[in-house]
Structure 1
Amino acid sequence: MKKKVLAVVCCVAMIAAMAMGCTTKSPTSGGDKKDDGGEGGKKIGITIQNYENAYWAGVMSKLEEILKNEGYDATIVGCEENSAKQIEQIENFITSGCDLIMVHPNDADAVEEVCGRALDEGIKVMCWDNPMENTTANWVLDNTELGKEIGKTAAAFINEHYTADDKAQVCVIGKPDTQVLLERQNGIEAGLKENCEDNYEIVATIDGVVNNEVQSKAETVLQASPDCKVWVGVGAGAMIGSNTALLAEYGGAGKIPEDVGVITTDVTSEQLNSLEAGDEAVRAIVGFEGSNTDTAQACFEMFERILSGEDFSAEKNVYRPTMEINSDNIADIQKGM
């Protein structure tokens, strides 16, 4: 049975006050190193949590292209979910004389002190994902609300195919050791509870953000609970890994029962291809950007605003507009991947 699948893109950007320990820094902390300007030639250091994650690899590839084309000197590294390594990377960015450091923290608390040191050196600091204190700006999501939207979308699928007498068996794929993803996971479970009609039960909870890791764990779940047919998760790896496991379980594309579905967030080419094909387990994507290019461009514009010395102290929260990716616009989104 064909269904129109919507992918709701929700993203929130937020600018936070400067703080170091118990001492609050001025809103222009990190702004005195050099003449501020958004033009190319500035040096930017970027450290992200995990470069193996399909979403991050895609976005960072596009961001690197944009920065190069605009004349910026940029270095992008992954910390492999190792906070000590990420601290060392930030220290190297400080030593190398970066104008701006962007951190997607493995553990926000762990990098507060080193980010404070960067501010003290006159370097601007931007955090992606966490409302940190020792930064010039934070680019964040309300991960609980994003999770609830995933849960709500999954609930619509469950309500269509299951009843109180024939409950959906659900697997939740999270990442509880990462605070923002724990918030997202909790939001998913809350969204299911708020929107389902007493017609589901969570039979398994696994963690993972890398495709093959999730696939392996999903296969184990299917061995123990072969009737687990609805899979919800916190990111691209959750979708790609579980979809791959389900394709193997049911014999390939075109053989997935209509009551089997995967609903997560992030937007990668592999996810979009599966969604567009319509014969795999992918049923819906709830994302926070349109395409890799859209996300990278939005991030780059934040860089330019920060480097130009814009004062966000009067309004710390900068909200991006939301949009839907559906059958009408998925082709345009694909072009930006």
Structure 2
Amino acid sequence: MKKKVVSILLCAAMVSAMAMGCSSEAPASDSGSEDSGSEEGGDGSLTIGITIQSLKNDYWAGVMSKLEELMKDKGYEYTLIDCEDNAATQVGQIENFVTTGVDVIMVHPSDPDAIETACKEALDAGVKVMCWDDEMENTTANWVLDNTALGEEIGKLAAEFINENFTADDKAEVCVIGYPSTKVLLERQQGIESGLEKYCEDNYEIVATTEGLEAPESQTNVETVLQAHPDCQVFVGTGAGPMNGANQALLQHYGGAGKIPANVGVFTTDVTMQQLDSIKAGDEAAKGIVGFEGSNTDTASACLEMIEKVAAAGDDDFQGEDHNTFRPTSVINMDNIDDILAGM
């Protein structure tokens, strides 16, 4: 997308979005991006540009909706837009944020390598840059997960379930749902496989590996796995889409809620209402997730706090080992789900 066209679209989005808020399902857009809102008329203390990989993702939509509420409460001016997982579009969005004179840019990269130059140009122009998810070089700071360690925690959570329900003589059939074309999700998938190997008691076999990012794709691919492996009991994945898709596929496979065998379970990460509702129901395949700060509100609050720190950073801040700020993780299951639901 040419810079001039992106500028026109972005400006139009900023005006029209004053009456909009981010919903759990982003509206369709013909412009090549999805605008979830811009709030102006605050105290002018901070102007923020945010570009997200995709707002069709339930996790991102939920957290960004809460983040918008917090930014409005503080009177910050902001533009929040997605790039529909297109790196060229995201480069244009970053360039336009610099042109419009924001104080700080938060980027969730479609392709971190592809936007390094644009982020460097932003830094050179005096704009602070925060990356969510990737350990980029040309940023003020990165707010990241140790995705290999996160994957291992997912594998450990699934291993606890496998150890309770299976033995070396009666091994669990496992399907891994990954998305190797995205670096952080490949690391997460590799961590899952490592966690299974580390924590299981020689009582499982990975019978299938498939791809899935959003729920519809994940559901279709899990249905294909179940055709080849109808007795596959444990599904581990890299995000909300794999859990929601696998859960729906298994509900259809077994004939509905309440008919899922006790030794069938789905374990992933992210925190969305659909995931939490499925776990809370207690009679579906979704069993547990490895979450981050907690609820959408918890994550949005931590994110805004990080944005504010990046905006206020001096030349000596976030240097060396401090360039990456790692986020905490925790298990979410039936034991604490009511607390998490309260913050969604």
For normalisation by structure 1, the TM-score amounts to 0.85
Q: 1:319 to 1:183 in 2, by over 3 A?
A: closer
What's 1:12 paired with?
none
Per-residue deviation, residues 30-89 of structure 1 (Å, max 9, x unmatched) = xxxxxxxxx754211111112111111100111011111111111111112211111111
Residue-pair matches, total:
299
Gaps of 5+ in 1: 1-38
Match of 2:203 among 172, 178, 199: 199
Match of 2:127 among 106, 112, 123: 123
How does 1:316-331 map onto structure 2 within 5 Å?
Answer: 316=322, 317-331=324-338
Gaps of 5+ in 2: 1-42
Q: Secondary structure at the match of 2:81?
A: strand
My pick for the range that moved more, 114-123 or 306-315, is: 306-315
Match of 1:112 among 98, 112, 116: 116
Q: 1:171 to 1:82 in 2, by over 3 A?
A: same
**Identity score, percent:** 66
Match of 1:233 among 237, 244, 253: 237
Normalized per residue, which structure has more helix? Answer: 2
What's 2:319 paired with?
313
Counterpart AA for 1:249: H
Supply the RMSD in Å over aligned alpha carbons: 1.5
Does structure 2 conserve the Cα–Cα contact (< 8 Å) formed by 1:154 and 1:263? Answer: yes
Per-residue deviation, residues 181-200 of structure 1 (Å, max 9, x unmatched) = 10000000000011111111
Q: Secondary structure at the match of 2:169?
A: coil
**1:221: Cα distance to partner?**
1.0
Aligned equivalents of 1:312, 1:83: Cα separation in 2 = 26
What's 2:28 paired with?
none
Does structure 1 conserve the Cα–Cα contact (< 8 Å) formed by 2:128 and 2:310? Answer: yes
Does structure 2 conserve the Cα–Cα contact (< 8 Å) formed by 1:40 and 1:70? Answer: no
Aligned equivalents of 2:321, 2:171: Cα separation in 1 = 46
Per-residue deviation, residues 152-188 of structure 1 (Å, max 9, x unmatched) = 1111111111122221111101110111110000000
Aligned equivalents of 1:176, 1:141: Cα separation in 2 = 17
My pick for the range that moved more, 141-150 or 216-225, is: 216-225
What's 1:22 paired with?
none
Aligned equivalents of 2:337, 2:67: Cα separation in 1 = 21
Per-residue deviation, residues 248-271 of structure 1 (Å, max 9, x unmatched) = 111111110001000001111111
Does structure 2 conserve the Cα–Cα contact (< 8 Å) formed by 1:154 and 1:232? Answer: yes
For normalisation by structure 2, the TM-score amounts to 0.83
Does structure 1 conserve the Cα–Cα contact (< 8 Å) formed by 2:48 and 2:105? Answer: yes
> Does residue 180 of structure 1 match 2:187?
no
Match of 2:79 among 75, 78, 99: 75
